[in-house]
Chain A
Amino acid sequence: AQSVAQPEDQVNVAEGNPLTVKCTYSVSGNPYLFWYVQYPNRGLQFLLKYITGDNLVKGSYGFEAEFNKSQTSFHLKKPSALVSDSALYFCAVRDEGRDDKIIFGKGTRLHILP
């Protein structure tokens, strides 16, 4: 079965510094990978996805993520963090070779310090 791991419960970054939120995955076929963000008392908002093609994908709010097949990773990055980026971030995976289920990680809380 597919699975996704987010090894950090919380990440603290100073405003203006680059940020990285880590994600690794496990699937039997080709992965479809996603990042979502959740602000307090809100549903999940889609940020970006990797389906195929270029390993570096760009998404909303200046975020990007790099697909690394050999390391089975899909880390979320941003060159310069904003205080407003503080939120809960979820990585998710779908296994192309199986059904349409999308499985989520446990989430990483990102704190951007002013």
Chain B
Amino acid sequence: DVKVTQSSRYLVKRTGEKVFLECVQDMDHENMFWYRQDPGLGLRLIYFSYDVKMKEKGDIPEGYSVSREKKERFSLILESASTNQTSMYLCASSLGGVLNTEAFFGQGTRLTVV
């Protein structure tokens, strides 16, 4: 079975802290994604990576950065957490190239910034 694992289900962090959200996939997928989910706004793409060390900004990259040093791992970094980054964060992966099809999602990390 396809598996995308996010390191934490729930996190509480203080304003100004540096926060790392980790995601690992075991399917040898080229593409990995970070979305945030907010009521009424759906899923919004933060960053997308199509290969190791490669990244592209999504629709809402401000306040975030990412790291992909290995194919299976994609980290989302909040350099200085703020209360407006309180949200559900979802990681996903998909095959790339001509075989690119659906994305597979992790269980999500609910982050609260206080």
A residues contacting B by CB (< 8 A) are 6, 9, 32, 34, 36, 42-46, 49, 51, 90, 92, 94, 99-107
- Per-position 1/0 for B14-57, Cβ under 8 A of A: 00000000000000001101010000111111001010000010
In this complex, the interface size class of chain B, counting residues with CB under 8 Å from chain A, is 20 to 34
- Taking a contact as CB atoms under 8 Å apart, the answer to whether A51 and B94 are in contact is no
Name the prevailing secondary structure of the B interface residues. Answer: strand
Q: List 10 A-B contacts (CB under 8 A).
A: A6-B42, A43-B107, A43-B108, A44-B43, A44-B90, A99-B56, A101-B33, A101-B45, A102-B103, A107-B42
Provide the residues of chain B in CB contact with A103, threshold 8 Å: 45, 59
Chain B residue at minimum C-beta to C-beta distance from A3 = B59
Is B64 an interface position by the 8 A CB rule?
A: no
CA gap between A43 and B88 in the complex, in Å: 10
